[in-house]
Structure 1
Amino acid sequence: MDHISWIKERPVAHRGLHDLNRTRWENTLSAFAAAIEKNYAIECDVHLSGDGVPVVIHDNDLKRLTGVDGYVWQRSAAEIKALRIGGTEDRVPTLAETLRLVDGRVPLVIELKGVPGHDAGIVAKVASELRSYRGKVAIMSFDHWLLRDFPKEAPGVPAGLTAWGDMPHHFEAHFSMLGSGYSFVSYDVTALPNPFVTFVRERLQMPVISWTVRDRAAVQRTFAHADQMTFEGFDPDGGLTS
């Protein structure tokens, strides 16, 4: 697991170091620049545009973030890049633009967002853009159909399972994916501790990060049962007031 041990070193800024979308919005170059300035790792989300370009945005529906009706897969990368986020000067960045900004200065964890029927080739296209990237980078996904493509389409890129749930059928699904070759887990902090996370950490020596930490109780839960946190809404180095 040495190729992914770095994921434990620094807190991971959830969608960058945004301010809960007051003035600096999630998954923007401004949020990523703020994380770099504070030396935090960055988590970001990637969808495929209608013309097959990886773009950095969390929602498939454009409305919440851009105010525009429609879906990411219905628009070209050029059209998406023209959309302002939250009425600010920031626009939806491509993955290529994000990689150029980060440029290896902090670790980057990329969550691939699957959209059935509209995500063909997303793993291969992200992997292609990472081929010449020299920084610490990993990919992860909730979507098992994408995770199964990771070993074939993104060989050599550290891969993770993003997961949630605290019921036996959730754990069965997560265990069933162990053969897909992932090397770390990102788990919902509200479901810690649990048998799956305990197994992968203690038996497989696999790093586990939590999502999404927003208060002191979640920080404490993370470091009691996982190795690092994905956080938002506060500055971990500045302390917590709640």
Structure 2
Amino acid sequence: MASNMVKKVLLGGLAAAGAAAWAIAPRRSSDKHRHAVQPVPDVWYAHRGLHDAGSGLNEQYAAESGEYVALARRMAMKAGYGTPEVTGPIAPENSLASFAAACEAGFGIELDIQMTADGRIVVVHDNDLMRVAGDPRRIADLTYDELTRIPLFPSPSKPGDARSAQAGDGEPAQVPQGYYQHVPLFSDVLKVVNGRVPIIVEYKFETNRYWDERDEEFMDLGDALLSAYDGTYVMESFHPGAVAWYRKHRPTYAVGSWPRRSSFGNGVLPWAAGSLGFNFLGRPDFVAYDWHGGNLPQVRAARAMGATAVSWTVRSSDEYAICDDWFDRHIFESFVPQYR
């Protein structure tokens, strides 16, 4: 009796392990070869461009972020954005200036795209503009024309700010005077990059729990821009439906899952996302994972089965030293990598 019980437990354990391995497995090497899929280019990727205001620029990383901000401003001015007389940010996160700065410095770029109320594809991370512009309105409720009149990190923000210092109260009555950057069209970003450096493009959704006609439209429009782009890029998303869409419609391109528990709310779904449990839906070529979790069993297993592991977001040389052995590529900000 005891022997039978042990066998059942062992068989159950093996079945569970097999199911887990099947769920998190990336695309098979034979399929990559058949479609001639190129690997994720081996460069450092500047998170939301090389920026002098925005994500990661807080007191915790002040020891190294000064050099990073100075480089972002210098490279943006080299590309023709701003002047030394501009006292506010020159190259805020996800702006044309920040992407031009990354190109001038020779870094790859990681960026986020969303769709506006009038069906334009723009580059912006948050679902609203509160953090980056002091404006509480949502991207999905604004037209691109409205976005052009909302400065990113407006005065009294200063270089090195992680968050806009201005509490917004709605759309400005007219386009502000003087130098400023606004949420850009994805098409304009692609013109600025112009194939000079590789891009990791993240499709951002208001929710990752559902899929509707607007999401299909978003995928079609984003893909149309990328298909016409003569440069190197890979695609990623929190949403497993977007990963599956690209694997189906664009099998020759590298596709990545970007699992994050908080993007799925509460319950079983967040646990499954963080455990790479949705990989079976799209069989990604790479996995972008919080740098703290690079040594977790699911990440190590996916990497052992052929997935490229990409860290996000490394913000200091100390963090890089901790996680470098766990990852094949890195998305960074707030410090300047010592080689590039």
Compute the TM-score of the two structures, normalised by the length of structure 2: 0.64
Alignment correspondent of 1:27: 94
2:181 is equivalent to residue 90 of structure 1: yes
1:4-60 CA-partner distances (Å, limit 9, x unpaired): 4243x1111000111343723110111111110111110011111011111000011
Q: Structure 2 counterpart of 1:108, which letter?
A: I
Alignment correspondent of 1:132: 228
- Taking the TM superposition and a 5 Å limit, the aligned residue runs for 1:1-242 are 3-7=37-41, 9-21=42-54, 23=89, 24-87=91-154, 89-116=180-207, 119-164=215-260, 169-170=271-272, 174-203=276-305, 205-237=306-338
Q: Secondary structure at the match of 2:322?
A: helix
Alignment correspondent of 2:11: none
Q: Structure 1 counterpart of 2:334, which letter?
A: G
Q: Secondary structure at the match of 1:93?
A: coil
Distance in 2 separating the partners of 1:156 and 1:50: 31
Alignment RMSD: 2.4
Structure 1: gaps spanning 5 or more residues: none
**Count of aligned pairs between the two proteins:** 236
Distance in 1 separating the partners of 2:140 and 2:271: 31
Q: Which 4+ residue blocks in structure 1 deviate beyond 6 angstroms?
A: none
Distance in 1 separating the partners of 2:222 and 2:284: 16
Distance in 1 separating the partners of 2:99 and 2:330: 17
Whose radius of gyration is greater, 1 or 2? 2
Percent identical residues? 28
CA contact (8 A) 2:260 2:274 kept: no
1:40-92 CA-partner distances (Å, limit 9, x unpaired): 11001111101111100001111221222310011112222332111261111
- Offset at residue 120 of structure 1 (A): 4.2
Distance in 2 separating the partners of 1:13 and 1:33: 11
Q: Structure 2 counterpart of 1:125, which letter?
A: L
Structure 1 window deviating more from structure 2 (124-133 vs 213-222): it is 213-222
Q: Secondary structure at the match of 2:114?
A: strand
Cα 1:171/1:199, change in 2 over 3 Å: farther
CA contact (8 A) 2:51 2:92 kept: yes
Higher relative contact order (CA 8 A, sep 6+): 2
Distance in 1 separating the partners of 2:253 and 2:206: 22
Q: Secondary structure at the match of 1:222?
A: helix
Distance in 1 separating the partners of 2:253 and 2:39: 13
Compute the TM-score of the two structures, normalised by the length of structure 1: 0.88
Q: Structure 1 counterpart of 2:136, which letter?
A: D
- Offset at residue 172 of structure 1 (A): 7.3
Distance in 1 separating the partners of 2:271 and 2:329: 25
Distance in 2 separating the partners of 1:64 and 1:222: 28
Distance in 2 separating the partners of 1:95 and 1:172: 29
CA contact (8 A) 1:184 1:207 kept: yes
- Offset at residue 173 of structure 1 (A): 5.1
